[in-house]
Amino acid sequence: MRYWIILLSGLLLISACAPTAPQSFRETFDDTHNGWTLVQNNQAEIAIGGGQLRITVKQPDSLAWSVAAGKTFGDFTLDVDATPLAGPNDNDYGVIVRRVDDDNFYRFEISGDGYFNIQKRQKGQWQKLAADWTESSAIRKGAATNHLRVVCAGRTLTFFVNQVQVAQVADNAFARGEVGVLAGTLTEPGVQVAFDNFQVSK
């Protein structure tokens, strides 16, 4: 069972300025990267290819994310398919919503061993929004694909895995922001997760 809060290990992913306010956004990662943050360094690699966005985390105790830069949303539904490709099941992967900057956003993630976690990062500090790493039978373990959904409606945030609601929280720290995906490691490096069929709808 996991009770570890992952620390950000110096990976700063900077998005573009001048955000827009689209009504919806769909990304299959088949063509151009549409402003997604791409990175390659000794800590992580974030790349698009083969119709997927892949995050590889090379160091232990690290978290990496990519956002669709410049596209901000307030109330919306986010859907994405996520598939672990390599590394231990003691991992984490998921989505970011209402990202103001790298120090302020919400994070919903699951693990390959069947747990989920919900936090917000405010002024650079992680805060729990639900019980830490809660087990759920809705999560497909190991290298299976999981469909993640987040519904943001005002201060209410509702979280689903494979069409099953796993949690709902209320928080008014961030009213709108960018959206993205994330992956992380605990004690073992080498986590790789592929994301596909990313969609935001009003």
pLDDT at 14 over 80: no
Nearest one of 84, 97, 121 to 8, comparing CA atoms: 121
pLDDT digit string (tens) for 101-120? 999 999 999 999 999 999 99
> Rounded to whole angstroms, how far apart are CA atoms 195 and 46?
11
> Rounded to whole angstroms, how far apart are CA atoms 130 and 24?
28
Give, in order, the Cα–Cα distances in Å from 2 to each of 82, 113, 134: 20, 9, 8
| DSSP code for 154 | T
Q: What is the mean pLDDT of residues 76-88?
A: 98
pLDDT at 4 over 80: no
CB 124, CB 7: distance < 8 Å: no
Q: State residue 202's pLDDT score.
A: 86
In one-letter notation, the amino acid at residue 23 is: Q
C-beta atoms surrounding 186 within 10 Å: 17
> Rounded to whole angstroms, how far apart are CA atoms 11 and 7?
10
Q: State residue 121's pLDDT score.
A: 98
3-state SS, residue 78: strand
In one-letter notation, the amino acid at residue 32 is: T
Quote the pTM value: 0.89
Q: State residue 1's pLDDT score.
A: 40
Instruction: Quote the longest CA-to-CA distance of the chain.
Output: 42
The alpha-helical segments, DSSP class H, found in 57-132 are: none
